[in-house]
Structure 1
Amino acid sequence: MTRMNVTSHEEVEVPNRPLFAGSIRTDGYGVDCIFTRRKLESLPQLAIEDFTTAELDRTFHLWGVDPGITEIFVASDGHGQQTHQIRRCSTAEFYHNSGVKKSAAKMLAMKQQTVTDGRTIADIERDLPSRKSSHKANIIRYAQELSQDLDSMLNFTMIAFPRSVS
């Protein structure tokens, strides 16, 4: 530990930060330093009776949330003719903000660029028969055709999404 200018684990301990657990592991290539977090003190258990009406009005603002079909949710802090706020998140906004469409387009581009045996991964997936069947013959046909191109598809996955093996 002196190579990191630390002579004891007490020097590593900082309030509200992870603590060194005193364990270092290696597999011969990489090193794991095990850290823990301090247990936070639990908050007091409060009931609605513990607050006055003035404290509730000043502190809390009630919103009703309704899950929807065309919108992920609609939230409102009132109803009727009185002035109130409405907040909503459409399905399109959700997909845009979460990056689903962008990552799907990126994945499709990668599949169209990766060529194996003269065919792209997109072609291989497109040419597979549907696996959505209750007929045994169709499921067997899907499994047979998938097994022919399984190596290519697994190699694409390993190259596109490399992960360290522990």
Structure 2
Amino acid sequence: MLFRNLIRSDSFTVDFLFSRKKKPKEDAIIDHHDLTLEDFSYEEITANYRPTFVDPGRKTVFTAAIGLETNRHEIRRCSTKEY
């Protein structure tokens, strides 16, 4: 690890920034693969993932819809007042 010669403080906490060299990949299976939406089926997505869509707004910091079903999905919001 290398010290980056950077110390930050907000008068309450102190951060010391360090860096380390990136380890070489032994198994570069993911390299050079470009996935697109067409590479997944709807059934694969619903079985393996939980899609979340986030929309920043004016009256809310964000609105998030979780899930793919049109009649049953979660909606979470954080208003600017709560923020």
The normalised TM-score by structure 2 is 0.50
Higher strand fraction (1 or 2): 2
- Which structure would you say has the larger RCO, counting Cα contacts within 8 Å and 6 or more residues apart? 2
Higher helix content, 1 or 2: 1
